[in-house]
Amino acid sequence: MMMSDVKAFGGAEHSFSLISRNLDRAIFSVRVVVPREGPMVDTIRDAGIPVHIMSLTRARDAANFPEFIALLRQHRTRLVNAHGVRAGLYAGLARMSLPIKVVVCERNLQSWRAQAVPRAIDRFIARHNDFRVGVSQAIVDDMVAAGVITRDR
């Protein structure tokens, strides 16, 4: 299962689309969860990948969380590749009740994330994922310096 926020079709969306479309389907049964329609969704659907529209981007979207858990159970999902802090939060919450592995991909460290509440969320994500990937050494260095992650995770 791959999760991402959908914005304009920029660099993050382009790489998310490339990864989802190029995973070996003999090994992975790829599904995508995104909060809304957009150009990336069309590209992924055109590749024959099932797309589930489910908003999991804000605190109020917690109401959709049971539907997300049901989707993971229905498809016997074992791996969630979460792109971004919001997807990482919901994937981490799912990991607390399901036997799944979670990989969180970080593309940036916004300055607001160094504040108390976002930092606590980042630490929660760090405790409830199996691997966290920074797309560049600079991102990893920023996350370590902000106390969001330790270098070994």
- In whole angstroms, give the CA distance from residue 151 to residue 142: 11
For residue 127, the model assigns a pLDDT of: 85
The answer, as to whether pTM is greater than 0.95, is no
- Average pLDDT of span 18-35: 89
Q: What is the mean pLDDT of the chain?
A: 84
Q: Residue 12: pLDDT above 90?
A: no
